[in-house]
Amino acid sequence: MAPSVGTATAMWRAAFGSSVLGSECVPITDAAGRVTAGPVRARLSAPAVPCAAMDGIAVLAGDTLSSVVGAGRFDVVDTGDPLPPGRDAVVMREHLRRRPDGSVHLREPARSGQHVRQVGESVLAGEELVPAGRVLRPADLAAAAAGGLPALDVRRRPVVTIVPTGDEVRPLGTDLAPGELLDTNSLMLAATLRSLGCVVRVTAIQPDEPALIAAAVRDADADLVLVLAGSSAGRDDHTAHVIRSLGTVVVQGVAVRPAHPVLLGVLHTGVPVIGVPGYPVSAALAVELFAVPLLADLQGRRLDPPRPVPARLRSAVPSRAECEEYVLLTLHEDGSAEPLARGAGAQTALARADAVLRIDAGSAGFDAGERVMAHLTDAPGWAGTPEVRTLRRVTAV
């Protein structure tokens, strides 16, 4: 009997003992989207001295009680100027009137600290600006730069090698003969993994020759290898044989639909390998279930949990009882959801899908009109982890 996704994942991970990748220091201008290797702390305070927050005059608040400040008792300042010695407040230019004798008349007395940016108001030296394991956002970079950090320690990018296989598979842009297919899976999966911060290398398409596939896998200098197609047990399915010649097949076949033929192995070098099914929906789900969580862990990053969305099914979604199943959905403005074609080769279903519905093993599925909780498919990680994947019926939308 094929293991569940959770069991298969545990068996596979135990076989190679993954650990967080090392770190590297990169210029802050190149750090967007990278994962922090440790907490980012400010080196400097910003501002470093009290500064004017408005254009106007700097005064000592105690000199303004009569609403008139004599000549020599104030300094003209612009926004961002350091506060002159002996001044503790700023009066906006619009709130004062100059008098012929050089004094100024104020609308009202000033308060100490008025329109003054204090030391560390933006960033305080030593404070944690960004936690470890954070995917750096533009605002994080600005905060770090304000804290005086020209470079940041980030996790090394995981390297993934994709090995497409199949006598019938042709490069993108090829004029196809009958029976031939374009290599769209490499394009789709590489884009998914690059969005996780990976360096992705795609080899030439390998024909259904075990020796050539083995050479491509052996030469892959990567943290993870994906062999596309050939993971099942047909005459031209060579992935299992190739992986056994180079390492160990831990799992071949998982109790999930689609993606049941997925193969999980480890090379003698300790590099994990996934035999990805050839059908597009199966390929996408296999990578979401097994590659995406692993690559997040290698970077020490926490995947955002799939975003739940309630929906009412427009048609029934029956299921096979022996395995968990994922059904792609199109969402409508009225809160309803239309199940898409469930064939593993339905390429257009992936493009049209807004969400995915997971059906537990042992469930007969859902009836038309039933209210369910689905997960949006707008970011890697939409299949979730074994701890968060379960999706249940809900009582209201």
Amino acid at 218: R
Amino acid at 220: A
Share of the chain above pLDDT 90, in %: 85
Query: What is the C-alpha end-to-end distance of the chain, expressed in Å?
Result: 37
Given this model, what pLDDT does residue 77 score? 97
Q: Is pLDDT at 132 greater than 90 in this prediction?
A: yes
User: Phi then psi for 248, rounded to 5 degrees?
Assistant: -135, 135
Instruction: Label residue 205 by pLDDT band (50, 70, 90).
Output: very high
Rounded Cα distance, 286 and 261, in Å: 9
Inter-residue contact 236 to 214 (CB < 8 Å): no
Rounded Cα distance, 238 and 208, in Å: 7
If you average pLDDT over residues 347-373, what whole number do you get?
A: 93
Instruction: Label residue 179 by pLDDT band (50, 70, 90).
Output: very high
**What angle do the packed helices 239-246 and 210-218 form, to 10 degrees?**
50
Q: Is pLDDT at 28 greater than 50 in this prediction?
A: yes
Instruction: Label residue 18 by pLDDT band (50, 70, 90).
Output: confident
Secondary structure class of 271 (helix, strand, coil): coil
Rounded Cα distance, 164 and 108, in Å: 75
Query: What is the CA angle 146-149-150, rounded to 5?
Result: 110
Task: Express the helix, strand and coil content of the chain in percent, nearest 5 each.
Answer: 20, 30, 50
Separation in Å, CA 76 to CA 65, 73, 87, 91, 253: 19, 10, 11, 10, 76
Inter-residue contact 274 to 262 (CB < 8 Å): yes
Instruction: Label residue 302 by pLDDT band (50, 70, 90).
Output: confident
Return the residue matching tokens 């108001």. 121
Given this model, what pLDDT does residue 383 score? 86
Rounded Cα distance, 106 and 103, in Å: 10
Task: Say what the pTM is.
Answer: 0.85
The predicted-structure confidence for 234-265, as pLDDT tens digits, reads as follows: 676 799 999 999 999 999 999 999 999 999 99
**CATH architecture of the domain with range 5-22+157-298:** 3-Layer(aba) Sandwich (3.40)
Amino acid at 376: L
Q: Is pLDDT at 49 greater than 70 in this prediction?
A: yes
Domain 308-376: give its CATH superfamily.
MoeA, C-terminal, domain IV (2.40.340.10)
Share of the chain above pLDDT 70, in %: 95
* Least confident residue range of 156-165, 205-214, 225-234, 263-272: 225-234
Q: Which stretches of the chain are DSSP H helices?
A: 5-16, 138-146, 184-194, 210-218, 239-246, 280-286, 292-298, 347-352
Rounded Cα distance, 125 and 43, in Å: 5
Question: Which residues have CB under 8 Å from 30's CB, separation 6+?
Answer: none
Tell me what the pLDDT averaged over the chain comes to.
92
Neighbouring-strand partners of residue 59: 74, 89
Instruction: Label residue 226 by pLDDT band (50, 70, 90).
Output: very high
Q: Is pLDDT at 71 greater than 80 in this prediction?
A: yes
CB atoms within 10 A of CB 217: 27
- Fold classification of 51-117 (topology level): Molybdopterin biosynthesis moeA protein; domain 3 (2.170.190)
Instruction: Label residue 304 by pLDDT band (50, 70, 90).
Output: confident
**Domain layout of the chain by residue ranges:** 5-22+157-298, 25-40+130-155, 51-117, 308-376
